[in-house]
Structure 1
Amino acid sequence: MKLELVLIPSTGDGHLRPLVEVAKLLLDNDDHLSITVVIIPSMHGFQTTSYCSYIASLSTTSNDRLRFSFISSADRPNSPDAEPNFISYMESYKPVVKATVAKLTDYAQPPSSRLAGFVMDIFCTTMIDVANDFGVPTYLFYPSNATFFGLQIHVQYLCDVEKCDIISELKDSATELEVPCLTRSLPAKCFPSVLLNKEWFPVFLRQARRFRETKEQQLNAFEMVEELGLGVEIRNHFQGVYMAAETDMELMTAEEIERGVRCLMEKDSDVRDRVRKMSEKSHMAVMDGGSSHAALVKFIQEVTRNIS
């Protein structure tokens, strides 16, 4: 039986490009899969020349197994300017995405083909409702690192189960937080500022709650940079300006940056040697038998098992 997956990326190079590459890898590893990538237009002001060029290139690369379905902003009932934030913007496209997928599943689909599930970006979790309407499972695509994923899930647990007020308890605090995904305690002063921002914290909390509704979170993370000692310590200020955070960012001097770069570039640098070894491990991970390749095969098996 042919299985159809629907992939829904959020807008932006850092989300669309990786998911398209994942689609290609999935198709390379299983001839029974076909994939449709549903592309929602960017919010006004978020488009870049690079992103627009990439979108244009995709329109010429569709084939029988990898298709791109471009939604127009004209299909929305309201003007893009009517939505207050990105999450609401994505939610406004639910009816259009549902209609698009309905056409895909009805149009020229042979009896032996079946919709197997949705794979959606972290900022598209509202589309879980659409997948539920079709009675198929949802899989989460998380392009950020596994550490932040673990932190986000743990913060949601602290809020919903332990009833903690994260912002009031951690902001400007000297306490340290025990996080299951970290080998060391996390000082409050190193807590990501986006999770201490009154505007954005509810967004990330809502995301984490919906993550738990997905069928499975396929994590394919290399060992942490800190554990491997690949980082060059210059100075790190997590409490900098990020997404309208209310704190000030302390700028590094040119001398500090130069020192860090020189440490990496020295021929006999221990850090440079570990970077080279990590590069080799990364290459091996995507080869047959590697961890990335094994995770991909496991995901395909999961999709097939859930639909059988």
Structure 2
Amino acid sequence: MKKAQLVFVPSPGIGHLATTVEFAKLLVSQHDGLFITMFIMNLPYDSKAGAYIDSLIASSSIDPRISFFNLPQVDMDTGIKPMLFLVSFIEKQKLHVREAVHRLIAQSDSPRLAGFVVDMFCTTMIDVANEFGVPTYAFFTSNAGFLGLMLHFQQLRDEKVVDTAELKNDLETELVVPSFVNRVPVKVLPDVILDENRVDYVFNFFRRIRETKGILVNTFVDLESHAVHSFSDGETPTVHPVGPILNLKVDDQNEIVKWLDDQPESSVVFLCFGSMGYFSERQVREIASAIEQSGFRFIWALRKPPPKGKINFPSEYEDFREVLPDEFFDRTAEIGKVIGWAPQVTILSHKAIGGFVSHCGWNSILESLWYGVPIATWPFQAEQQLNAFEMVKELGLAVEITLDYKRDLSGEDNKIVLSAKEIEEGLRKVMEHDSDIRKKVKIISEKSRKALSSGGSSHSSLHRLINDVMDL
């Protein structure tokens, strides 16, 4: 049997890493001759990635053909701007990746090195792959619509047709983008491409993605058919829709499951805003008021903002009463739970969940669709506004609380505080039992599962990739 080895370089941070690990597991499950070595970059302020890999290895839930290598830590100033921090951090790791690959292929029993698979933020590692004379594939953890938009504007900027940083002066403008059927409002574009200090960094990632042999996208054809077909213009590398790539491990022993078991089917609204999800005290109080006024059963994942001016993740409140209205717990004790970090998949998979108020990170969207739970959109950073727009306006698979809420880098809510009335309206729409959106989400849930089954669109795409890697 032919054997081949891929080197994976995921982006630092648990969000991208967890999805990349799931993709690696899926790949090796499809071919016995495929081996993967994954290089782990640990951020100086975040120990979650290392702990996650340790738990995987300890649980023996990982195929022995997948191995992990922790790259040495690099000295970084955590006080610099986030985009510059990320670019500098990954650039400093190139030397360590090069040395590690040399050691890997020097082993007598090492399978043939067939290529690199790099995260969208790690495209500088193409240089290292080129040194070893192997192709690079990009693993794109977000959606095809976003990929198409970024490649489109990167090309227009390079050709000096559009300076995206100037678009911020007219937020009401709507733009034609090949990967979207509808015109895309400037106000839902990622802030990074409207910021003249960051735009060149991010477009360089996408400029280099064009150098890869293929782009592996965490989506499926039935979800984003227009976006996927927009790439057949001969101007981009082959796009392989291989999703949904999800970690669907459920913790049935979690104490929140016991509470959910006692609730009626589809009666609980779940509010959760991802690993960077936090709000100002003013906004927290408006959310609390909306929950109370709606009367719905609820689970609310509430996180504490990090210190201002520092790159870090939200933390846990010692006492939620620090930010919640007086007697909120007394008035809602029978119908809801306020928690810190949330076991999101465990909660979304439960039959008692009827709606999901989400920041619209792509992983969260795919998880919600997989379990047939409709989303109410509340994005606040990165490409989340574009994701929310796609879900509401392009695909009709979500209801809108807001599409263009943005939080600035200091962690403030950018002077925008959504009112309890606006939030309550969103809660009522997402919890409507016989809505067209709920029916459409149930249909796409079935299609998401079929995409990965034998003969499904993503299954077929995955095997085309494997045949390419194995040189079959």
TM range (shorter): 0.7 to 0.9
Structure 1 position 159 matched with structure 2 position 157: yes
- What fraction of aligned residue pairs are identical, expressed as a percent? 41
CA contact (8 A) 2:10 2:122 kept: yes
String of CA shifts for 1:39-97, please: whole Å, max 9, x gaps.
Answer: 1121x22x15x544313213434664111111121xx5xx2239851111111111111
Aligned partners of 2:101 and 2:64: how far apart in 1?
16
Aligned partners of 2:413 and 2:20: how far apart in 1?
33
Structure 1 position 35 matched with structure 2 position 36: yes
Aligned partners of 1:101 and 1:213: how far apart in 2?
21
Corresponding residue SS for 1:237? coil
Corresponding residue SS for 1:214? coil
Which of 396, 399, 408 in structure 2 is aligned with 1:232?
399
Deviation at 1:188, TM superposition (A): 2.4
Residue 300 of structure 1 aligns with an amino acid whose one-letter code is I
CA contact (8 A) 2:142 2:218 kept: no
Structure 1: unaligned runs, 5 residues or longer? none
2:416 corresponds in structure 1 to: 250
- Bigger CA drift: 259-268 or 175-184? 259-268
Aligned partners of 1:139 and 1:280: how far apart in 2?
29
Aligned partners of 2:136 and 2:408: how far apart in 1?
30
1:212 corresponds in structure 2 to: 210
String of CA shifts for 1:226-250, please: whole Å, max 9, x gaps.
Answer: 4431110223215x23546999352
- TM-score normalised according to structure 1 size: 0.88
2:125 corresponds in structure 1 to: 127
2:17 corresponds in structure 1 to: 16
Deviation at 1:28, TM superposition (A): 0.5
Structure 2: unaligned runs, 5 residues or longer? 225-390
1:276 corresponds in structure 2 to: 442
CA contact (8 A) 1:10 1:40 kept: yes
Deviation at 1:172, TM superposition (A): 2.9
1:68 corresponds in structure 2 to: 68
Corresponding residue SS for 2:399? coil
Aligned partners of 1:190 and 1:121: how far apart in 2?
24
Q: 1:260 to 1:174 in 2, by over 3 A?
A: closer
Aligned partners of 1:102 and 1:51: how far apart in 2?
24
CA contact (8 A) 2:5 2:113 kept: yes
Structure 1 position 25 matched with structure 2 position 26: yes
Which of 51, 57, 77 in structure 2 is aligned with 1:81?
77
Aligned partners of 2:204 and 2:451: how far apart in 1?
33
Of Structure 1 and Structure 2, the greater helix share is in 1
Deviation at 1:11, TM superposition (A): 1.1
Q: 1:168 to 1:151 in 2, by over 3 A?
A: same
Deviation at 1:200, TM superposition (A): 2.3
Q: 1:246 to 1:147 in 2, by over 3 A?
A: farther
String of CA shifts for 1:197-237, please: whole Å, max 9, x gaps.
Answer: 23321221111111111111133524243443111022321
Deviation at 1:137, TM superposition (A): 0.2
- Bigger CA drift: 248-257 or 2-11? 248-257
Aligned partners of 2:401 and 2:171: how far apart in 1?
23
- Bigger CA drift: 137-146 or 182-191? 182-191
Deviation at 1:196, TM superposition (A): 0.6
- Bigger CA drift: 152-161 or 267-276? 267-276
Q: 1:63 to 1:174 in 2, by over 3 A?
A: closer
Deviation at 1:148, TM superposition (A): 1.1
Q: 1:244 to 1:203 in 2, by over 3 A?
A: farther
Aligned partners of 1:64 and 1:235: how far apart in 2?
45
Q: 1:41 to 1:296 in 2, by over 3 A?
A: same
String of CA shifts for 1:148-200, please: whole Å, max 9, x gaps.
Answer: 11111011111112443221244335433211111122232333222112332
- TM-score normalised according to structure 2 size: 0.58
Aligned partners of 1:207 and 1:6: how far apart in 2?
19
Residue 8 of structure 1 aligns with an amino acid whose one-letter code is V
1:109 corresponds in structure 2 to: 109
2:322 corresponds in structure 1 to: none
Deviation at 1:280, TM superposition (A): 1.2
Residue 395 of structure 2 aligns with an amino acid whose one-letter code is L
CA contact (8 A) 2:28 2:35 kept: yes
String of CA shifts for 1:88-137, please: whole Å, max 9, x gaps.
Answer: 11111111111101111111325xx3100000101111111110010000
Residue 285 of structure 1 aligns with an amino acid whose one-letter code is A
Deviation at 1:286, TM superposition (A): 1.4
Aligned partners of 1:283 and 1:30: how far apart in 2?
20
Name the count of aligned residue pairs: 296
Aligned partners of 1:299 and 1:183: how far apart in 2?
28
Deviation at 1:254, TM superposition (A): 2.1
CA contact (8 A) 1:263 1:271 kept: no
